[in-house]
Structure 1
């Protein structure tokens, strides 16, 4: 059963039964939902699931997931096959506490000896998510970690743009999409169309049939991404811990994907704090993939990610 949290400015919906996902954030001043909604939804399905990617995607709701202990294609790690985007986003989480403004949840993974603990709090214009990952093993364990929030319509449209103060954009080596070439590393403004504010990136609107898969790197010690919607009249800023997440995956799916699972029905744009670059191998001296963060026996890490409503920046 979903948990609904409210402040004076935001309404937040969390689903413990699958992933402790934040499936929607609604700006109450305008009634605007800001997160993407997937056409595959959260409905029950009679679909025969052939592999872990199909399992993860066939009921993907959009919104915001935590990816652990894997992110990206399935892989064998520590003697077990870890599925596409990991177990955390599929797991059932226990609700420890819940009230109008916050909830506390936890789950224990089977594909890695990890306890995941999540506190979701909404107050005023800010949503704060605090995640703790604890190694329950007597051996060291490494895990990939990615925060997976995706934004969509009606908040974003063809006049929207994003500001990400990052030194480099690294496009995917195999499937970069239509907006950039493969396996490139350069300043974001060099590789992508600039938006109306200096340093911003223009975003395609619904129906544009454009796509991108890349990652930001060199994000600094206080990284953030600000999604700006002039037609909605506000921006949403995502802030994260650069010590835990030194990169951010950047993907755009503007009704480009024909065939399963989207059939050109998904409009979603995401900047996702990550502790690994997507893919495998190396590009311009930057290592893709890898095992992520190493936790010693009994060790834990705690990280806070913040999403807040902001005024639009001044245009030129």
Structure 2
């Protein structure tokens, strides 16, 4: 059963039965849902080919916020195991260890990497904080890709919205960069993408614009990105641990994809803290892909990620 956490400013819904996903966060002052909702979340019948891990992951994908471990991106062979699309943590059933009105603690164990993950979610005032502890239960070191996968959507974001980030560099995907930028481009985010109304900001495409993007942000001065919604009258800042997650995947799907799986039904804008740049090969002295972060035998790695409601910046 879903878990609902509430503060005086936010309401969050978490699903232990699938990935401990944060499927939605609602701003209570305006009644505005913040996170994207995917039409694939309503798919709950039929079978998925066992050999197609991407289809299996998208089967029931609700939008919202996932933790991608031990893999992120296409399935791969690593450590003697075939790790599926976007890893196992976001599909796993999680045990509820503790729960009250404003917080919960969950735990799961993975099969394709010797990891136990404990996730704590807390809402306090205008902030939601997620703490993930990845523990290596093997005496040998293990390497893991890690991506926090929150996607924001409508009605919070629209064609007046923009995002502020301190990233000095954007690296577009070498194979499928989308419509907003050319492939394999490296530059300043506000030079590669349309500029927003605040210095250093990026203007976001609105629903129905048929715009898309797949890229990575890197060279951050501060580990945060702020989504600004003039129409709704507030902003939301995403913050994370830069030492563990030095990059952020950035993707936009503004009702652009005509075929499977979206059929022009999804509007989502995501900046996702990550320890790898997506893709394979080199990107201007930066390696795409790779094994990720090494956790020594018997050791743990702790990640803290948060979102917070803020006033809009002065224009």
- TM-score, normalised to structure 1, is 0.98
Which stretches of structure 1, 4 residues or longer, exceed 2 Å deviation after superposition? 47-50
Distance in 1 (CA, whole Å) between partners of 2:149 and 2:198 is: 25
Distance in 2 (CA, whole Å) between partners of 1:203 and 1:58 is: 28
1:251, CA displacement in angstroms?
0.3
Q: Give 5+ residue unaligned stretches, structure 2.
A: none
SS of 1:72's equivalent in the other structure is: coil
Q: Give 5+ residue unaligned stretches, structure 1.
A: none
Instruction: Provide the residue aligned with 1:21 in structure 2.
Output: 21
Instruction: Provide the residue aligned with 2:31 in structure 1.
Output: 31
Instruction: Provide the residue aligned with 2:67 in structure 1.
Output: 66
- Deviation digits for residues 40-64 of structure 1 (CA, Å, limit 9, x no counterpart): 1154121433500000012110000
Instruction: Provide the residue aligned with 2:106 in structure 1.
Output: 105
Instruction: Provide the residue aligned with 1:166 in structure 2.
Output: 167
Instruction: Provide the residue aligned with 2:8 in structure 1.
Output: 8
SS of 1:249's equivalent in the other structure is: strand
- Deviation digits for residues 216-243 of structure 1 (CA, Å, limit 9, x no counterpart): 01013x3100000000000000000000
1:259, CA displacement in angstroms?
1.2
- Deviation digits for residues 143-184 of structure 1 (CA, Å, limit 9, x no counterpart): 000000000000000000000111100000000000000011
SS of 2:54's equivalent in the other structure is: helix
SS of 1:87's equivalent in the other structure is: coil
Structure 2 residue 198 is matched with structure 1 residue 193: no
SS of 2:289's equivalent in the other structure is: coil
The two structures, once aligned, show a CA RMSD in angstroms of: 0.8
1:290, CA displacement in angstroms?
0.5
C-alpha contact 1:58 1:261 (8 A) present in aligned 2: no
C-alpha contact 1:63 1:151 (8 A) present in aligned 2: yes
Structure 2 residue 276 is matched with structure 1 residue 276: yes
Distance in 1 (CA, whole Å) between partners of 2:249 and 2:40 is: 22
Instruction: Provide the residue aligned with 1:291 in structure 2.
Output: 291
Instruction: Provide the residue aligned with 2:301 in structure 1.
Output: 301
Instruction: Provide the residue aligned with 1:41 in structure 2.
Output: 41
- Deviation digits for residues 92-127 of structure 1 (CA, Å, limit 9, x no counterpart): 000000110000000000010000010000010000
Instruction: Provide the residue aligned with 2:238 in structure 1.
Output: 238
Distance in 2 (CA, whole Å) between partners of 1:310 and 1:182 is: 34
Instruction: Provide the residue aligned with 1:115 in structure 2.
Output: 116
1:138, CA displacement in angstroms?
1.6
